[in-house]
């Protein structure tokens, strides 16, 4: 890809970025997909499963705002393949992990790779958007969510039948991803002019018609509350959905992985909806409908049979997943010129909340039952009511 002075949407780059996100999140989702295998082979309890998720998610989150701040000041085009190298080492380590502590080190390295990837990749999506920020974030996010849905299938086909050592074969995915990321990084380095003028221009326009500092802080606080609601509930599904199905309905590990795939695939499909609709009608309405709209299905799910549990989880995945792209772009528009910081903050917070929630929910599951975890979490989407307090925004026609 040659340098260009055009500032239109770079669909080829967005496509490669979405593929990179897909491969990255495929490897990240392997962690939770192999929990039943690790639980049996290392004799782990739910508290330890929660701690694995906590370490993984904290590694995926704690460095993201820092990386975002650094790269806002000085973009790092080749940080993507560097991050994927950490992920590859983590996946290889996990295949040989023979103790709980070894697993923790492995998932930390895997999560660290994700922590490096997301802030710069989010900036790249913004940079390549040509002004269609919601569309670009949705394309980027759908790649990641589709990748997350593939993880359980790979676990079903490659790992569950043959054992933990086969996790190592997935490092080949990391090598392919590094190759794609090198192409993207080259384009990034040659097209930094797309980013700087947009940020300067955007900052000028936003400062002329911006909300007050107090209102921006208030709106960001509301968004963070919504992220809390969304990702605590998502943690209950990502980390414990398979165990819930096995415990309540007696399904096999293989079938539980298929049900998890169905949920995560619905998340991938739903992701593409939120960004473009937010570009057209305003992001507040997408955020509100997405999180609060999940509530009826979440409240019913703990009280139905296997078939309806699967159907309701798919509906939850479709509706809830449309929120994140809208939340992220809404926040980027509230704080112009800080794309990396906002990307790092919101991705980091999402992963961090999910990690802490998984650890707490694991402890609750050990003390009570998996069923009780879902009885509690069913009320979380009702927090979506606070989206009513977000200021209305209108999208420019040029976008």
310 vs 59 pLDDT, higher one: 310
- Say whether pLDDT at 137 is over 80: no
Residues 6+ apart with CB under 8 A from 362: 45, 46, 47, 48, 49, 50, 51, 53, 239, 240
Average pLDDT, the chain: 81
The two structure tokens encoding residue 67? 């990386």
Q: Taking residues 368-390, report their average pLDDT.
A: 89
pLDDT of residue 29: 86
pLDDT over threshold 50, residue 202: no
**pLDDT at position 195:** 55
Query: What's the 3-state SS for the chain?
Result: CCCCCCCCCCHHHHHHHHHHHHHHHHHHHHHHHCHHHHHHHHCCCHHHHHHHHHHHHHHHHCCHHHHHHHHHHCCCCCHHHHHHHHHHHHHHHHHHCCCHHHHHHHHHHHHHHHHHHHHHHHHHHHHCCCCCHHHHHHHHHHHHHHHHHHHHHHHHHHHCCCCHHHHHHHHHHHHHHHHHHHHHHHHHHHCHHHHHHHHHHHHHHHHHHCCCHHHHHHHHHHHHHHHHHHHHHHHHHHHHHHHHHHHHHCCCHHHHHHHHHHHHHHHHHHHHHHHHHHHHHCHHHHHHHHHHCCHHHHHHHHHCCHHHHHHHHHHHHHHHCCHHHHHHHHHHHHCCCCHHHHHHHHHHHHHHHHHHHHHHHHHHHHHCCHHHHHHHHCCHHHHHHHHHHCCCCCCCCCC
Check residues 71 and 84 and name the one with the higher pLDDT.
84
pLDDT of residue 81: 92
Q: Please check the confidence at residue 184 and state whether its pLDDT lies above 70.
A: yes
More confident residue, 309 or 122: 309
Specify the length of the chain in residues: 399
Instruction: Please say if the pLDDT value at position 250 is more than 60.
Output: yes
| Residue 151: pLDDT band with limits 50, 70, 90 | confident
Is 106 in contact with 93 (CB distance < 8 Å)? yes
Whether the predicted pLDDT of 236 surpasses 90: no
- With 90 as the cut, is the pLDDT of residue 93 above it? yes
* Mean pLDDT in residue range 264-276: 75
Given this model, what pLDDT does residue 259 score? 93
**Nearest 10 degrees: Cα torsion 78, 82, 85, 87:** -110
Mean pLDDT in residue range 125-129? 77
Q: Which residue has the higher pLDDT, 67 or 46?
A: 46
Mean pLDDT along residues 80-94? 94
pLDDT at 315: 93
CATH architecture of 11-389: Up-down Bundle (1.20)
Please state the rounded mean pLDDT for residues 112-124: 83
pLDDT at 33: 84
Q: What are phi and psi of 76, to 5 degrees?
A: -120, 85
Place of tokens 């990749």: 121
- Position 199 confidence tier, pLDDT thresholds 50, 70, 90: very low
Q: Rounded CA gap, 243 and 208, in Å?
A: 52
Residue 14 pLDDT > 70: yes
Of the chain, the percentage scoring pLDDT greater than 90 comes to: 28
Tell me the CA end-to-end span of the chain in Å, nearest whole number.
Answer: 24
The domain segmentation of the chain, as residue ranges, is: 11-389
Task: List, for residues 329-341, the tens digit of each pLDDT value.
Answer: 778 777 776 666 6
pLDDT of 361 over the 80 cut: yes
Judge contact between 23 and 147, C-beta under 8 A.
Answer: yes
pLDDT at 79 over 70: yes
């Amino acid at each position: 890809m040659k340098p260009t002075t055009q500032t239109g949407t770079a669909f080829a780059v967005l496509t490669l970025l979405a593929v990179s996100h897909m491969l990255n999140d495929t490897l990240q989702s392997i962690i939770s997909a192999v929990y039943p295998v690790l639980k049996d082979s290392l004799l782990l309890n739910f508290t330890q499963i929660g701690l694995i998720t906590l370490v993984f998610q904290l590694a995926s989150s704690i460095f993201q705002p820092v990386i975002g701040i650094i790269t806002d000041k000085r973009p790092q085009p080749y940080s993507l393949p560097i991050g994927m190298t950490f992920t590859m080492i983590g996946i290889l380590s996990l295949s040989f992990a023979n103790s709980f502590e070894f697993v923790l080190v492995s998932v930390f390295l895997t999560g660290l790779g994700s922590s490096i990837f997301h802030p710069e990749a989010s900036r790249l999506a913004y940079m390549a958007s040509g002004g269609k920020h919601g569309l670009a974030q949705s394309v980027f996010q759908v790649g990641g969510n589709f990748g997350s849905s593939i993880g359980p299938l790979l676990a079903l086909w490659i790992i569950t039948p043959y054992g933990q050592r086969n996790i190592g074969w997935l490092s080949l995915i990391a090598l392919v991803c590094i190759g794609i990321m090198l192409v993207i990084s080259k384009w990034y380095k040659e097209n930094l002019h797309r980013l700087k003028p947009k940020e300067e221009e955007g900052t000028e326009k936003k400062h002329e018609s911006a909300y007050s500092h107090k209102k921006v802080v208030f709106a960001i606080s509301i968004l963070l509350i919504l992220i809390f609601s969304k990702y605590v509930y998502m943690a209950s599904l990502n980390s414990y959905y398979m165990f819930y199905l096995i415990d309540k309905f007696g399904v096999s590990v293989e079938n539980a992985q298929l049900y998890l795939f169905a949920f995560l695939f619905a998340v991938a499909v739903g992701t593409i909806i939120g960004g473009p609709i937010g570009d057209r009608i305003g992001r507040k309405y997408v955020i509100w409908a997405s999180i609060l709209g999940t509530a009826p299905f979440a409240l019913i799910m703990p009280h139905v049979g296997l078939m309806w549990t699967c159907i309701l989880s798919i509906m939850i995945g479709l509706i809830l997943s449309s929120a994140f792209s809208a939340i992220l772009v809404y926040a980027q528009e509230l704080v112009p010129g800080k794309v990396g910081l906002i990307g790092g903050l919101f991705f980091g917070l999402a992963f961090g909340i999910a990690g802490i929630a998984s650890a707490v929910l694991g402890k609750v599951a050990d003390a009570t039952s998996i069923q009780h975890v879902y009885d509690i979490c069913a009320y979380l989407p009702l927090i979506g009511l606070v989206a009513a307090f977000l200021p209305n925004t209108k999208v420019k026609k040029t976008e």
